[in-house]
Amino acid sequence: MSAVISELNTDTKERLDDYVKQLVKRQFEQYMDEKLEGKIREIEENKIPTIGIIATKGTMDMAYPPFILASTAAALGWETSIFFTFYGLELLKKDLDLKVSPLGNPAMPMKMPFGPEWFKNINWNMPNTLMSNIPGFENIATSLMKKTISSKGVASISDLRDASLEAGAKLYACQMTVDLFNMKQDDFIPEVEGWIGAASYLSTSQKNDICLFI
């Protein structure tokens, strides 16, 4: 009889020990999961977002997107960089002489910066055949665009570029394009962060949270 009781007690003890071990294991796993989740949340909350923009266009209308995005992101505290390649290098010149290219943007409406409000709100969609056959149409379109921008209180390209730099955005120039078009570094603003190639910029931009091609 005593042997049977002893055997039962041993079995109960083993089961109790196993239960305690399982309970401790579950509590430990729960504790570690909570710590891990908290750590991940802390990293995400403290992480500084990064954005990389590749600017390839050199017209006035296409200069606004990269500088608006860069100045805004940098002002928000994001790590911001723009890589200017091919015609985008025009945006880094000391002397900005940018023009609107309506011929390359057939969907772009013309806006009149003068007259009553109903007149200024009209979208003047010009056919490509008309734009290509009118001498000096590009200069006219550029002049109208500048007046519209000024009347709406929108910053100039130069002001947006300065704002991007002041906020901490880094501007990189494509050295291959500079060599291709026989450009001189003296033609560009001194604030250029670096003269690099595609491989150098890609090795950095692959870590960005956001990459944009404009």
Compute CA 153 distance to the chain's CA centroid, rounded to the nearest angstrom: 24
Q: Residues 146, 198: one domain?
A: yes
More confident of the two residues 19 and 110: 19
61 and 130 housed in the same domain: yes
* Residue in the block written with tokens 């490509």: 128
CB 189 within 8 A of CB 210: no
Q: 108 and 29 in one domain?
A: no
**pLDDT tens, residue by residue, 60-84:** 888 999 999 999 999 999 999 999 9
Q: Tell whether 42 and 56 lie within a shared domain.
A: no
Same domain (yes/no): 157, 66: yes
**In the block, which residue shows the tokens 């401790």?**
24
Q: What is the number of structural domains in the chain?
A: 2
Q: Is residue 37 domain-shared with residue 109, that is, in the same domain? A: no
Residue 8 confidence (pLDDT) above 90: no
Together in a domain, 175 and 102? yes
Tell me, what DSSP letter sits at residue 113? S
pLDDT for res 103: 58
Cα–Cα distance measured from residue 85 to residue 95, given in angstroms and rounded to the nearest whole number: 17
31, 78: one domain: no
| 34 and 138 both lie in a single domain | no
More confident residue, 139 or 80: 80
What distance in Å separates the CA atoms of residue 20 and residue 191, rounded to the nearest whole number?
A: 66
Rg (CA), the chain: 31
Tell me the residue range of the domain where 59 lies: 50-213
Q: Verify that 25 and 67 share a domain, yes or no.
A: no
Q: What is the pLDDT of residues 112-133, one digit of tens each?
A: 665 666 656 656 565 555 555 5
Average pLDDT, the chain: 79
CA 73 vs. chain centroid, Å, equals: 7
Residue 51: is its pLDDT beyond 60?
Answer: yes
Check whether residue 93 and residue 29 sit in a common domain.
no
Among candidate residues 195, 196, 205, the one with its CA nearest the CA of residue 79: 205
Same domain as 70, residue 14:
no
The pTM of the full predicted model, rounded to 2 decimals, is 0.69
pLDDT at 18: 75
